[in-house]
C-alpha cells in the first residue's frame, strides 16, 4: 500500500512538472513569435552584451510582452541592434514592470516644453574642461577617452558639451542600471538628451510617481 502511494505521488509530481514545462515553452514561443514578427530578430539568439545590467541572466518571459515590444522600440534611440535594445528594455522592466507606459506619458509631457529645451541646448558651447572635471569628480571617468561603443545611437558623433552638464551627470547615474561602465552610461544618456534636452528632469518625476504607486499598492 505504501509503495503504491509513493508511486502515485511521484507520478502526480512528474505530470505537474511536465505541465509547467509545457506552459513555459508555450509562453517562450509566444514571445519569440511576437518579437520576430515586430522586429525581425530571434530571441533564441539572445545573449547579454553589456555586463552589469539589472536584468543580466534573467529570462525574457519574466516581463510583460507588450512592455518588451514597446521597450525595444524606445531603446532603438541607442542602437539599431534589436536584441541589444531588448536587453536595455529588460533592465528598465526589472525595476518597474510597466516602465514604458509611464515613459510614453513622460514623452508626451516633454513635447509640450520644446521652447525651454531649445534654450538649454543653445547655451552649451565650449565647456569641455568644465565637463571633463565634473564628470571625472563624480564618476572617476575621463571624457578625453570617450568614444561611441554602441553604433546607431541618436547622439553618435555629437560633442558631449552639446548637452546640459547637470542632465549628463544625472543621466550617467540613471543609465548605470544598464552598465557599470560610466563612459558607456554617458553615451546612453547623450542619446536620450539628443531628443529631449531635459530628459532626466522628467525621468526623476516619473520614477518618483512609480515608487508612489508601488507604495499605494501595498
**Strand (E) or helix (H) holding 188:** helix 182-195
Report the domain count for the chain. Answer: 2
| 87's grid cell | 536587453
Range of 124's domain?
Answer: 102-217
Q: Using CA atoms, how far apart are residues 187 and 9, in angstroms rounded to an integer?
A: 56
State whether 169 and 198 are in the same domain.
Answer: yes
Where does a domain end: 95, 112, 140?
95
Is residue 198 domain-shared with residue 133, that is, in the same domain?
Answer: yes
Q: Are residues 72 and 131 in the same domain?
A: no
Give the list of residues 6+ apart from residue 3 with CB closer than 8 angstroms, or none. none
Measured distance CA(154)–CA(183) in Å, rounded: 16
> Per-residue pLDDT tens for 39-68?
999 999 999 999 999 999 999 999 999 999
State which of 65, 95, 125 marks the end of a domain: 95
Residues 87 and 173 in one domain: no
> Same structural domain for residues 66 and 126?
no
In a shared domain, residues 175 and 190: yes
Segment 67-115, tens digit of pLDDT: 999 999 999 999 999 999 999 999 999 999 999 999 999 988 887 655 5
Give pTM, 2 decimals.
Answer: 0.85
**What's the pLDDT at 35?**
98
Torsion of CA 204, 75, 53, 24, to 10 degrees: 120
Residues 197 and 110 both lie in one domain: yes
* Whether residue 119 sits in one domain with residue 49: no
Cβ 96 vs Cβ 213: under 8 Å:
no
- Tell which of 66, 95, 124 closes a domain: 95
Residue 131, C-beta contacts closer than 8 angstroms, at least 6 positions apart: 143, 160, 161, 165, 168
Is the same domain home to 69 and 140? Answer: no
Cβ neighbors of 185 (< 8 A, separation 6 or more) are 171, 172, 173, 175, 176, 178, 179
Amino acid at each position: 500500500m505504501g509503495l503504491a502511494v509513493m508511486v502515485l505521488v511521484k507520478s502526480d509530481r512528474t505530470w505537474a512538472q511536465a505541465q509547467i514545462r509545457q506552459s513555459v515553452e508555450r509562453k517562450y514561443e509566444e514571445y519569440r513569435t511576437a518579437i520576430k514578427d515586430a522586429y525581425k530578430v530571434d530571441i533564441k539568439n539572445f545573449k547579454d552584451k553589456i555586463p552589469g545590467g539589472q536584468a543580466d541572466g534573467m529570462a525574457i518571459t519574466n516581463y510583460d510582452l507588450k512592455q518588451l515590444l514597446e521597450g525595444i522600440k524606445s531603446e532603438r534611440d541607442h542602437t539599431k541592434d534589436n536584441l541589444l535594445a531588448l536587453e536595455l528594455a529588460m533592465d528598465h522592466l526589472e525595476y518597474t514592470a510597466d516602465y514604458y507606459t509611464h515613459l510614453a506619458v513622460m514623452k508626451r509631457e516633454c513635447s509640450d516644453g520644446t521652447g525651454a529645451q531649445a534654450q538649454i541646448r543653445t547655451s552649451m558651447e565650449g565647456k569641455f574642461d568644465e565637463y571633463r572635471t565634473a564628470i571625472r569628480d563624480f564618476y572617476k571617468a575621463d571624457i578625453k577617452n570617450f568614444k561611441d561603443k554602441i553604433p546607431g545611437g541618436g547622439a553618435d558623433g555629437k560633442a558631449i558639451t552639446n548637452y546640459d552638464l547637470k542632465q549628463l551627470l544625472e543621466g550617467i547615474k540613471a543609465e548605470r542600471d544598464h552598465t557599470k561602465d560610466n563612459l558607456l552610461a554617458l553615451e546612453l544618456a547623450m542619446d536620450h538628451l539628443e531628443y529631449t534636452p531635459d530628459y532626466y528632469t522628467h525621468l526623476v518625476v516619473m520614477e518618483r510617481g512609480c515608487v508612489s504607486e508601488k507604495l499605494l499598492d501595498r
